Structure 1
Amino acid sequence: MKNDQKKGNKVFLSLVTFVLGFMLAYSYNIAKEEENFDEKNRKDFEWKEENQLRNQLINQQEKNSALQEELYGKQEKVRDYEQKLSHEKEIFFNLAEDADKYRMYLGKVKVKGRGIKVTLEDEEYNPNVDNVNKYIVHEQHIFKVVNELKISGASAIAINGQRLKHNSYIICNGPVITIDGNEYPAPFEISAIGDPDVMESALNIVGGVKDQLVNDHIVFTMEKKSELVFKPIVGERQR
């Protein structure tokens, strides 16, 4: 009886051990499958996430490239506008410069700068000269000086303080000259704004204006000026 009971216990323990072993093995397999499943899902998720990030990066790079192209296009337009504005600015500057020259030429603006002053005087009376007009300053003498100064680059000229216009006239009437209706006695001071060295050299050239006037018995003096100021011409007459 006892042997039968012992055998029964052994069988029961064997059965329990078998069941437990089966349960452990089954649990292990389940856990292993779950682990493998989780690992596969993790790798799938990481791959999907990496692929998504890669696609986002590619899209962003394409957007950046498109924006860069657009930026290059706008920069090119800006350069075109800048060139046009620069050209227009240059044209405007040239027009403004020309306008200033014309105003200066017409005597409509105040002018100041370095220059030169030439003084013409009648030579002292010489009883040995039969014709008094031979030692008097005439308009042609003044014209020679004025024309030479203009050729030498004078931007503005005045005689005895009266500024000359583009259409000024000079008439000799005995010992006086008339400039645009205003009479002036000798000596005649011809002032010009411009490069004093150039104008001085032009007047002093051998056989030039100075020599011609001296040969005509005209007292000729010349001096450089650090600054001359000519007021604008107002109205038709100026004193």
Structure 2
Amino acid sequence: MKKPLHNNKFTKKQFIVLIVCITTGFIIGYSYNLTKDKEKMNNSYVDQEESYREDLIEQQERNKELAEELSDLQEQIRNVEKNFAKNEGQYKDLIEDAEKLRLQLGLIPVEGEGIKVTLKDNVYDPNSTNPNDYIVHESHVLSVINELKISGAEAISINGQRLKSNSYIKCNGPVITIDGHQFPAPFVIEAIGNSETLLSSLKIVGGVFDQLLMDNIVVTMEQSDRIQMSSINNEM
């Protein structure tokens, strides 16, 4: 009796299994390569971020060194000018004007009498339709700053940040940004100058103080015999 010959052709079931195996192998290989590529990209981003962070730290240190050098040079110039003024009395007024200008620009530290104004958010009334009506905004801060400048304030700071002649103040939600630095409420505004004059200018009838109260802002003001402010170079 003859034995049946083996069939060398794939059956339909074997062909399907082969296709499934090939497809699975392709998917596994593709997933593996994709994972490797993602890991390379992530490592590249981490290395790049670390490099940027190191560059930033190095630049900040360099800025600090330059600020210290600038402060030293300015102090040397002031000493030379003072010595020059002693020998040349006719230039005394010019030296005094230069000193006043440095004071206004915030280039030198200052100390003297003045006032302190504190602005706080009020307690929100749930019956109100707008919660922003109880929050301190940049317009409130600017109104105080402008009135103090008009009244002869020699130097002004907000939460310890000394203001420059070209300082900018911007409201950003619950905080304000002053020359790139963010400060949350309450906002403590200090001004050096004649305390009686500065306080009277803010409390004039219908003035800044009354307007702040109408805007539901909590305001406190006090005079001080001694207020200190550092130069802007020391804040860098």
TM-score normalised by L of structure 1: 0.61
1:188, distance to aligned residue in structure 2 (A): 0.1
Give runs of aligned pairs for residues 217-236 of structure 1, distance below 5 A.
Answer: 217-234=216-233
1:100, distance to aligned residue in structure 2 (A): 0.6
Give runs of aligned pairs for residues 1-239 of structure 1, distance below 5 A.
Answer: 89-90=89-90, 92-234=91-233, 238=235
In structure 2, distance between residues paired with 1:204 and 1:178:
26
- Give the aligned partner of residue 42 of structure 1: none
1:140, distance to aligned residue in structure 2 (A): 0.6
Q: Which amino acid aligns with 1:146?
A: I
1:94, distance to aligned residue in structure 2 (A): 1.1
In structure 1, distance between residues paired with 2:116 and 2:128:
29
1:89, distance to aligned residue in structure 2 (A): 1.9
Q: Which amino acid aligns with 2:150?
A: I
In structure 1, distance between residues paired with 2:93 and 2:102:
14
In structure 1, distance between residues paired with 2:188 and 2:233:
21
Is the partner of 1:201 in helix, strand or coil? helix
In structure 1, distance between residues paired with 2:128 and 2:205:
26
In structure 2, distance between residues paired with 1:97 and 1:220:
36
In structure 2, distance between residues paired with 1:126 and 1:93:
59
In structure 2, distance between residues paired with 1:204 and 1:167:
26
1:167, distance to aligned residue in structure 2 (A): 0.5
Aligned-pair RMSD on alpha carbons?
1.7
In structure 2, distance between residues paired with 1:234 and 1:97:
21
In structure 2, distance between residues paired with 1:120 and 1:210:
10
TM-score normalised by L of structure 2: 0.62
How many correspondences in the alignment?
151
Percentage of pairs with the same residue: 57
1:178, distance to aligned residue in structure 2 (A): 0.4
Is the partner of 1:157 in helix, strand or coil? strand
Is the partner of 1:115 in helix, strand or coil? strand
Structure 1 gaps of 5+ residues are: 1-84
Q: Residues 9-61 of structure 1: CA distance to partner in whole angstroms, max 9, x if unpaired?
A: xxxxxxxxxxxxxxxxxxxxxxxxxxxxxxxxxxxxxxxxxxxxxxxxxxxxx
